[in-house]
Chains A and B, each alone.
Chain A
Amino acid sequence: MNPEHDKGHGDQSETVDAPVVVEDVLVEEVSIDGMCGVY
Chain B
Amino acid sequence: MSGRLGFVLFLARMALGFVFVYASVDKIFNPSDFARIIYAYKILPASWVGMAALGLPWVELAIGVLLLVGRLVWPSALVAGVLLLGFSGAMGYNLARGFDFQCGCFSTARDAQAVGLLTLARDLALLAPVFLLLIEGLRQGLNPSADPDRLPRS
Q: Tell whether A pairs with B.
A: no
Residues of A within 8 A of B (CB): none
